[in-house]
Amino acid sequence: MSPERPVQSARLGRLFGLVLLAALAVGASAQDAAHRMVLTLDAEGPTINRHLFGHFAEHLGRGIYGGFWTEGADGWELNAPVVEAMRALDPPNVRWPGGCFADVYHWRDGVGPARERPTIVNTLWGGVTEDNGVGTHEFVALAEALGAEPIVVGNVGSGTVREMADWWQYVNHPGPSPMADLRAENGHPEPWGVRFWGVGNESWGCGGNMSPEHYADLYKRYATFLHGYGDVRPFRIATGPDATINRDVPEWTEAVMRDAGRMIDGLDMHFYTIVGDWDDRTRATEFGEDRWVGAFARALEMDGHIRRVSAIMDRYDPQGRVWLIVGEWGMWHAPEEGSTPGFLYQQNALRDALVASVTLDVFARHAERVKMANIAQTINVLQAMLLVDGERVVKTPTYHVFDFYKAHQDAERLPFTLDAGTYAFGGQSVPAVSATASRDETGHVHVTLTNLDPHRARTVSAEMRGGRLSRVSGRVLTASEMTAHNTFEDPDVVVPAPFGGVRLDGQTLTVTLPPMSVVALDLQ
């Protein structure tokens, strides 16, 4: 017997076990909690913008070098298995080069022959020396390979207006012009047409420790010189508030919208889910039920931050022209033992996946204002989609949630009411069930449901009004342990399985959600 056969058998056995777990949940009604849902199929709703499911690739740890790119005989080259895995998620965008790194990055160091580029010491993240082998050309090539739109964040903290204006011209001017000619000399005569442009990052902190009034004035100055070229008009993204530690959220938003709102296309708020105090963080797979429920309680604070920021934006932008962007979000744990602390390498458990699902539900609820978001980060950093070691690639539980939710990209949000119930432990409580419903351009209805209760199945009985559907299929993501996660040695511990706990009877959809699970349904 070949050495692969036992491994394959184990994976098939585990998959069968997950299917059985989901099926058995249907028969567990004696201990189930019941939830009523009313889903309106013929109502018009806002579009769930595809850019809400965006990604983030900063020069940090092994996200760029040793992540998206691997070292080959002739320098850095795209890591083919990584690109293949990410393409399957239909990523709408990828944000680069930071993060905090953006405000120390000088773009001219990253163009021209790779062997002639100067090095840079990444003092922000681990103190490592980078060779600038990945620069503008390489990043846009990555975005093209992923089928994603590039988001470039320019340097306000240590850069100049001219530097940013030249970079914008370099990527977008059709030529002839000084920067377009330089781009052609470097091997790319045609402009790339990059429209999303961040004017600084976290300017209240690592991007310069500025006051909101000072930043608003700087923003207007920098944004003035991002001129339209050809068919490309800049979508200018301003630094929004720091909601992670609730740093002057109303004050920052008020000042920036008041003083610069007419020149802003997107306002970028950041919020990380940190369980406990900063110095009290644990690793991603080391927690009990108190930190299970605590993670969801913290993640759901996103809703309140969005409401507060949106209310201020509504006063200065009642037409809703300016996008509220959540440019960095996700779980921030203590780094894995033995890893470089500044590399922010952490595992990714079932808990992370459910945090992602309820956060994406929050974004969908606010789809009228929230139009873009970027989970931090894509490879080997924080709440990653993939863990990568050379050509070995592990899909994290969060990856699978993004695979479930890609059905909502650019779909019409459908209104529903839901008796979410309550899951409580140790004095903390959260809604037990979370959901998003949408209709895509083909008429398919997609419903994602999350059960945060680690002990009880939850049965949702959904009355569907305003239409008739005749078929339903589904997938489920769950595991037998809260700390379940995937590793290089055992990559299929938390993987999707076919879902049998659903029944469609006329206008009633009955779904029995296993404990601690995410279910994705496709109805026709």
Which tokens sit at 63? 């996200």
What is the rounded CA–CA span in Å between residue 124 and residue 344?
Answer: 12
Tell me the C-alpha to C-alpha distance, in Å, between residue 303 and each of 176, 296, 310, 471: 47, 12, 10, 33
Q: Using the structure block, give the residue that is written with the tokens 């659903």.
A: 502
Q: Which of 130, 138, 202, 254 is catalytic?
A: 202
Tell me the C-alpha to C-alpha distance, in Å, between residue 336 and each of 62, 276, 295, 435, 504: 13, 17, 18, 32, 44
Which tokens sit at 133? 């082998």
Residue 418: how many CB atoms within 10 A of its CB?
A: 18
Containing H/E element for 465?
strand 458-465
What is the rounded CA–CA span in Å between residue 175 and residue 493?
Answer: 52
Q: Which of 328, 337, 368, 463 is catalytic?
A: 328
What is the rounded CA–CA span in Å between residue 248 and residue 434?
Answer: 29
List phi, psi (to 5°) of 34: -100, 140
What is the rounded CA–CA span in Å between residue 63 and residue 496?
Answer: 25
Decide: helix, strand or coil at residue 431.
strand
Tell me the C-alpha to C-alpha distance, in Å, between residue 100 and each of 66, 120, 121, 132, 517: 20, 14, 14, 16, 34
Decide if 268 contacts 260 (C-beta within 8 A): no
71 catalytic residue (yes or no): no
213 catalytic residue (yes or no): no
Give one DSSP letter per residue of 110-123, joined into a string: GSS-GGGSPPEEET
Decide if 171 contacts 191 (C-beta within 8 A): yes
- Closest to 202 measured CA to CA, from 166, 155, 162: 155
37: amino acid identity, one letter: M
Taking the chain, what is the end-to-end CA distance rounded to the nearest angstrom?
44
Residues with catalytic function: 202, 328
